Amino acid sequence: MFESLFEINPGASEEELRILVERCEQLKSQAAAVQARATALWAEKRACAERERGVSRARRGKGLVTEIALARHDGPVKGNTHLGVANALVHEMPHTLAALESGVLSEYRATLIVRESACLSVRDRRTLDAELCAESSRLVGWGNSRIEAEAKKITARLDAAAVVERNNKAAASRCVTTRPAPNGMVYVTFLMPLAQGVGMYAALKREADVTGDGRSRGQVMTDIAYERVTGRSVAEPVSMALNVVMSDITLFGGDDCPGAIAGYGPVPANIVRHLLDAAIADENAKTTLRRLYRHPTSGQLVAMESRARTFPKGLANFIGLRDQTCRTPYCNAPIRHRDHATPDRGGGKTNADNGLGLCEACNYAKEAEGWTVTTSDHDGVHTALFVTPTHARYYSIAPPAPGSPITRRSITEDQISIDLATFRAA
């Protein structure tokens, strides 16, 4: 059955191809239901095993959500969601799980129902489950927004106080985040209470509507927001307080290999050079240059070492520049901790080979029972091996530093590059 399903006949008609696409979508929903059942059972077995071993209640389940995320080839930050959805579907929402199994709901739409009902008691959640999904045929044709709206409506009717309490708790999670955008841009996201967010947007829009200087409304709103937050005009150069990594050849215009900004990622060479040139030309902007060296084969940054138990500032900065994001496989989170792969208590050294840049959650997860992390550096390739309590093995390789592919240069050429960089920094 599966062999025929995954084989595409080049001579198939459009109708046959449409049927195949529909079958694949149904199969994905069925697989998601099986995955949820397996995840919930995995959590039950882990809890039982830890209880029998006498693991304290506070430490039970540590690291499990990271294992679940890795098994799904997903970022560890999603592990809690995967486990929570699985437990809710299997133990509290049988009708939603049945709709997922039949292919009426996609995994994402089932997750929306679980998310919107999370503030309810188990009894009310089961009531919502039956009311919304017992007759799964009526869900056919419903999109994401309709599913979400119906779940919200039922939740509010069953327990309005719980909805209000959830909204109040959500206000405590307000934050500002950034993520890369195409073409040298960045998304800056404000997560805030509804009234404040709408008010901020309305104020920016109001000012943009009375500004007629040729810029679009979006451009004016963005420029006003930047000026109010930073106190600087958008026309003023930005102080280069960022960790920008680029090759000396790129710096001086010898090639167009991208640079990298810590916490952002690759940036086109001409944009990085423009940022640096503007900052250098402005007497109020501060720019510094630090020399780092790549391995002649792999292109990764060369190691540093310390005898201290904790990573000193220079070495910690080096690890952050080398790893760029959390080194746990599939995790894209910013680095928060510089940690020993082999713990200090186990004889691990405080050096770049044994150091890893990790996000806070992944650092705590690897300390759970049954986890081991080891590192190796072969021919300049820094590799970390993560072994989970269920004996799965995941590898993480540090990305190469920005610059052209490594070619052998003479000692004289290397010295000239170093002297040029020193001269430019002076």
Q: H/E/C letters for each residue in 132-174?
A: HHCCHHHHCCCCHHHHHHHHHHHHHHHCHHHHHHHHHHHHCCC
Question: 373 by DSSP, 3-state: which?
Answer: strand
Q: Which two tokens stand for residue 122?
A: 């188990």
Question: 334 by DSSP, 3-state: which?
Answer: coil
pTM reported for the whole predicted model: 0.72
Task: Round to the nearest angstrom and report the end-to-end CA distance of the chain.
Answer: 70
Q: Which two tokens stand for residue 166?
A: 């959830």
- Which of 362, 320, 364 has its CA nearest to residue 338? 320
Left, alpha or beta for 111 (phi > 0: left; psi -120 to 50: alpha)? alpha
Question: 47 by DSSP, 3-state: which?
Answer: helix
Backbone angles phi, psi at 325, to 5 degrees: -135, 175
Rounded to whole angstroms, the Cα distance separating 91 from 82 reads 14
* Structure-token match 């240059």, residue found: 289
Question: 332 by DSSP, 3-state: which?
Answer: coil
Q: Which two tokens stand for residue 350?
A: 């405080």
- The one-character DSSP state at 230 is H
| Residues ≥6 apart with Cβ < 8 Å to 200 | 190, 192
Beta bridge partners of 265: 261
DSSP 83-143: HHHHHHHHHT-HHHHHHHHHTSS-HHHHHHHHHHTTTS-HHHHHHHHHHHHSSGGGGTT--
Question: Chain centroid to CA 138: how far?
Answer: 36
Torsion sign across C-alpha atoms 140, 143, 147, 153: negative
DSSP 56-78: -GGGTTTTHHHHHHHHTT--GGG
* Structure-token match 């630090």, residue found: 290
Beta bridge partners of 18: none
- Which of 90, 88, 133, 135 has its CA nearest to residue 114? 88
Residue 421 has a pLDDT of 45
Is the separation of the CB atoms in 121 and 88 below 8 Å?
no
Q: Which two tokens stand for residue 218?
A: 């979006």
Is the separation of the CB atoms in 421 and 248 below 8 Å?
yes
* Structure-token match 């992390």, residue found: 373
Query: Which residues in the chain come in under a pLDDT of 50?
Result: 1, 240-241, 304-307, 408, 418, 420-426
Is the separation of the CB atoms in 231 and 244 below 8 Å?
no
Q: Which two tokens stand for residue 22?
A: 């529909």
